[in-house]
């Protein structure tokens, strides 16, 4: 099985700030969310554990398991360019985050994020069939992870594809 986990909550999550690649640590609630995940997974033996290099994901992985954690750059959150640190309602014209060609404010292209996630998941499925894999990552990465495993949403609404802090999705490996 492949267990996809979004990192625990950060202070910026509570403030509604766009994090992207800003390296924000977990807040106390985020650490507690990770402890709940540790309890949830107490009977799962992970064969491999992967994490985004950002502190919030790495801290979450370190709380969940004592396994060796493989940091993989492909799991880093989408680069949100000049939007990072801003609150959505402060931005007059948001980019269309689901448009392959919209890179307003220096936001990483959808093609780029899909390419790196396709590469990551194709590799782990080939290298570790029938293994228990933990992947700790971010909301934006989670959206396109779900696209990889179940396809694009038929109605074009990606909001149901967004992991909440400390949420888990499980896919067959």
Q: How far is CA 60 from CA 11, 68, 69, 155, in A?
A: 15, 13, 11, 32
Average of per-residue pLDDT across 144-168 = 90
Average of per-residue pLDDT across 11-30 = 95
Residue bearing the bigger pLDDT, 171 or 90: 171
| 2-171: CATH, from 3.40.50.1240, 3.20.20.70, 3.90.1150.10, 2.60.40.420 | 3.40.50.1240
Give the model confidence (pLDDT) of 48-71 as tens digits.
Answer: 999 999 999 999 999 999 999 999
Q: Give strand pairing partners of 137.
A: 6
Name which of 67, 74, 153, 155 is nearest 121 in CA terms.
74
pLDDT at position 83 over 80: yes
Residue bearing the bigger pLDDT, 11 or 92: 11
DSSP 67: S
Average of per-residue pLDDT across 31-60 = 98
C-alpha 80: how far from its chain's center? 14
Q: Is 169 left (phi over 0), alpha (psi -120 to 50) or beta?
A: beta
For the chain, list the strands marked E by DSSP.
2-6, 48-51, 69-71, 133-137, 168-171
Q: CA 98 to CA 102: how far, in whole Å?
A: 8
> Annotated catalytic sites, by residue?
7, 77
Asked whether 19 and 83 are in contact (CB, 8 A), the reply is no
φ and ψ at residue 105, rounded to 5 degrees: 65, 15
Domain segments of the chain as ranges:
2-171
């Amino acid at each position: 099985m492949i267990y996809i986990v979004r990192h625990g909550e950060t202070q910026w999550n509570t403030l509604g700030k766009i994090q992207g690649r800003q390296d924000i640590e977990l807040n106390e609630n985020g650490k507690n969310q990770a402890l709940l995940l540790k309890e949830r997974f107490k009977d799962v033996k992970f064969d491999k554990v992967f994490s985004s290099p950002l502190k919030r994901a790495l801290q979450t992985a370190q709380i969940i398991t004592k396994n060796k954690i493989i940091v993989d750059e492909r799991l880093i959150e989408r680069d949100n360019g000049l939007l990072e640190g801003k609150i959505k309602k402060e931005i007059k014209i948001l980019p269309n985050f689901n448009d392959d060609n919209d890179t307003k404010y220096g936001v990483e292209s959808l093609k780029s994020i899909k390419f790196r996630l396709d590469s990551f998941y194709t590799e782990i499925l080939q290298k570790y069939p029938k293994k228990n894999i933990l992947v700790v990552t971010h909301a934006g990465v989670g959206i396109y992870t779900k696209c990889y495993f179940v396809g694009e949403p038929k109605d074009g609404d990606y909001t149901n594809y967004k992991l909440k802090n400390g949420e888990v999705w499980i896919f067959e490996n």
